[in-house]
Structure 1
């Protein structure tokens, strides 16, 4: 962002709720069917068809509200939002405006070591529209998505950088998947963000004219689109122009936003209560029943840090999704309690690298928490070095072999504990690197680390570094005395 300017960002996120049927009809929500195979008379708005509310969508919305500390409306209303596009057969969308099911709440996340909180205005239930298909100068309408249940989550215009918006979206995505209310599949459109972006002079309290960037289904594209749009608006104003309130699309190939249409206001949509749907009454008893949810990521992070002595960054990695958190906790229950850092590092670095390479989730892998815990315990008890443990992990992954002790033996990776063999190796390193020894003796401390590294290399990582340090110091002292004696004799 240019000096002297401030960016103001608010996000509207459409979360597709993981129900098996649509919000007002019995049609399936399964992705990937042939066009219009999952659209019945209600979705197509045939005369006389009447909507019927899916109670599961209501349940999922309330669970989200509870998770973000929001107010659950006891009496919420569905309204008709009018606009006229070919993929909206009724000529209106059933949504909520004046009295949504969820009010307020907040999402917190960590960015650059600082805790940030983004306040929510509301989250409301609505139905998705269909989709226009264009091919060879012809257009068609697919109504499979028409009526798919959405929870639209709206933030205050409180974010001040594209990175903040990126982290908020990632945190929100993690939460809705964690709660089991959304599958989080960005490629299938289950999680889509609209970014409202405006700029103003630094120090100003007046909001600038905003543009809305629609349907961003990639966290990276969200960040890049905001950066481009804020720079575009700033340059436009500096050149003497002005920002038009409009809807824009992000072109990822050219990394730019393009005008789509002028932005409607709430008045343009002519909201009014839907006469076919009753007021949604939610009792205290029903809300209480839904409070039995999984431990939330924020609470789990604090507990991990306290109980397993891991850092904030490590706890963030271990709660990146609910499956990873469960895997991590299963591992740490089988190793010494103060060894959580070792487990976190193996999962976030070694396992994560292998999973990303082979496009696997932690729920797909064959290296169970029991197997990883055994490997870590072999490091802790000195049977194998940390470096060689990583090599064993790679062998298990590549060859589907999980007998750790057998792999260690066959690969010759067990720790060398015979002191006479260790001394022999260290003496060989000293003999071959006398100039490095002399550098250390002259006061260059780094030279000692160089010698340790050479011993580790000679032993293929099979000597405990603490043993090397002790014995290496002793053998250097002997070398020093012998060198001094030989010098005097000469």
Structure 2
């Protein structure tokens, strides 16, 4: 009862309990316009998974917003995947989520809660909570009262429907399984299990933060950890690659490759150095990366040479920037006035003139220097 889950944002959600249950079955609702229980003609019961064990994890009422709820479920899912407890695919039913929603004014007790079922994705969870909170507020504002009930989330309609009135928690009739003895694990056993666990998502994010300097909540870090690509990024860095560019390359180029891309880390490492040292522009590096990925590896230097890629002299880039400014004085005036989007027109002219060989970062730096900021 003293468990908790610390979220990346710093929110701490208490864990009331985690207990084993047996699955009962699956309902299929036939007829109607949506195939949901609401409006269906009849329901079919599938007991093929009856008796399959499942773990129910019950959180405490520490979650205050739909965003926190989504973050909590995402972190819990990532942990279950990391330790191998489940593939946690909500869309396939291997991980399910029910949400209890209540509203109250600041300084007043919690309101009557309603349980929402049929939430099959993290996105649906956020939508369902937002809708249900708004529904309850509207009921209370109109002078009504909230009934404790179970409600069905209809993702197509974007709303909840009443399934059944709900008994109080004390009326759930929890009782122990008579054929199973009570478990009382020792502190030593718990610690041994803790030590045997692989790095959890929080530790993986911390590793990437130390490696790259990126915030643990940055999109690139979160994506790499969710895909299980953190160790691959680390391997590229250990092979002498630039860690920041390694993280960017991996999250952009290996969207479908999973945790272990086939490309040797050293091949990616070599490419990151070429771009870092301004021997390739970002556009050129992206082209080389695509070929390396397509071939399952490759010599970045050789590929760049075969394509005629070479670093442009800074003075040549400066001349192109000056020509672009002269060709589009209106865009330059807007940029100098602080309209950053106007820079795109100037950069575009330079990239066209250089046939993509100019490095965008160098172009931007020259423009900032010309502007005096």
CA distance in 1, matches of 2:137, 2:330: 62
Greater share of residues in strand: 1
Residue 450 (structure 1) shift: 7.2
CA contact (8 A) 2:324 2:349 kept: no
Which one has more relative contact order, counting CA pairs under 8 Å at least 6 apart?
A: 1
Q: Quote the residue 2:235 is aligned against.
A: 330
Q: Which moved more, 1:141-150 or 1:323-332?
A: 141-150
Aligned to 1:460: 355
> SS in structure 1 opposite 2:74?
helix
Cα distance in 1 between the residues matched to 2:326 and 2:160: 64
1:107 equivalent in alignment to 2:8: no
Note if contact 1:318-1:344 (Cα within 8 Å) is conserved in structure 2.
no
User: Aligned residue for 1:116?
Assistant: 11
CA deviations 1:76-97 (Å, max 9, x no partner) are: xxxxxxxxxxxxxxxxxxxxxx
- Tell me the equivalent position of 1:479: none
Question: Within 5 A, what are the aligned runs for 1:295-310?
Answer: 295-310=199-214
Separation of aligned partners in 1, 2:149 and 2:77: 26
Query: Which region of structure 1 is more displaced relative to structure 2, 251-260 or 263-272?
Result: 263-272
Residues of 2 paired with 1:448 and 1:287: CA distance? 58
Cα-Cα RMSD = 3.7
Cα distance change, pair 284–411 in 1 and its aligned pair in 2 (3 A): same
Alpha carbons of structure 1 residues 272 and 396: separation in structure 2 relative to 1, 3 Å: same
Aligned match of 2:371: none
Which residue does 1:195 correspond to in 2? 99
What is the distance in 2 between the residues matched to 1:452 and 1:198?
52
Q: Which moved more, 1:426-435 or 1:220-229?
A: 426-435
Query: Distance in 1 between the 2:163 and 2:182 partners?
Result: 35
2:280 corresponds, among 368, 374, 384, to 384
2:272 counterpart SS class: helix
Deviates more, 1:116-125 or 1:137-146: 137-146
Structure 1 residue 175 corresponds to structure 2 residue 79:
yes
Is 1:233 paired with 2:131? no
Distance 1:161 1:294 in 2: 30
SS across alignment from 1:196: strand
Could you tell me how far 1:228 is from its partner in structure 2?
A: 0.8
Instruction: Check the 8 A contact 1:456/1:462 in 2, yes or no.
Output: yes
**Shift in Å, 1:247:** 0.5
Structure 2 residue runs without a partner (length 5+): 32-40, 369-373
Q: Is the 8 A contact 2:331 2:346 kept in 1?
A: no
Partner of residue 165, structure 1:
69
Match of 2:258 in 1: 362
| Post-superposition CA distance 1:29-83 (Å, at most 9, x none) | xxxxxxxxxxxxxxxxxxxxxxxxxxxxxxxxxxxxxxxxxxxxxxxxxxxxxxx
Normalising by structure 1, we get a TM-score of 0.63
Range with greater deviation from structure 2 (153-162 or 452-461): 452-461
Report how far residue 130 of structure 1 moved: 1.4
Q: Does 1:351 align with 2:253?
A: yes
Structure-2 separation of matches of 1:289 and 1:164: 31
Instruction: Map residues 124-273 of structure 1 onto 2, 5 A cutoff.
Output: 124-135=19-30, 140-204=44-108, 206-273=109-176
Task: Report the CA distance between 1:121 and its aligned residue.
Answer: 1.2
Aligned residues: 355
Deviation at 1:319, TM superposition (A): 5.3
Q: 1:407 to 1:193 in 2, by over 3 A?
A: same
CA distance in 2, matches of 1:445, 1:286: 66
Gaps of 5+ in 1: 1-102, 474-490
Preserved CA contact (<8 Å) 1:437 1:448: no
2:214/2:221 contact within 8 Å kept: no
Quick check: 1:178–1:321 contact (8 Å CA) kept in 2?
Answer: no
SS in 1 for 2:229: helix
The DSSP-based 3-state class of the residue aligned with 2:228 is helix
> Based on CA coordinates, which of the two structures has the bigger radius of gyration?
1
The structure where helix makes up a greater share of residues is 2
Partner SS state of residue 313, structure 1: coil
1:444 CA displacement: 4.8
State whether residues 430 and 437 of structure 1, in contact with CA within 8 Å, keep that contact through their aligned partners in structure 2.
no
The farther-off stretch of 307-316 and 339-348 is 307-316
Corresponding residue number in structure 2 for 1:54: none
* CA pair 233-368 structure 1, distance change in 2 beyond 3 A: farther
Give the C-alpha shift of residue 428 in structure 1: 6.7
Structure 2 CA distance for partners of 1:361 and 1:215, relative to 1, 3 Å: farther
> Compared with structure 1, are the counterparts of its residues 266 and 364 closer, same or farther at alpha carbon in structure 2 (3 Å cutoff)?
same
User: 1:439, 1:268 → 2: CA distance?
Assistant: 70
Does the CA contact (< 8 Å) of 2:264 and 2:297 recur in 1? no
- 1:342 matched to which residue of 2? 245
Q: 1:315-354 deviations in whole A, cap 9, x for unaligned?
A: 7426533722112211221235xx4222222233x226xx
CA 1:432/1:155 → structure 2, altered by over 3 Å: closer, same or farther? closer
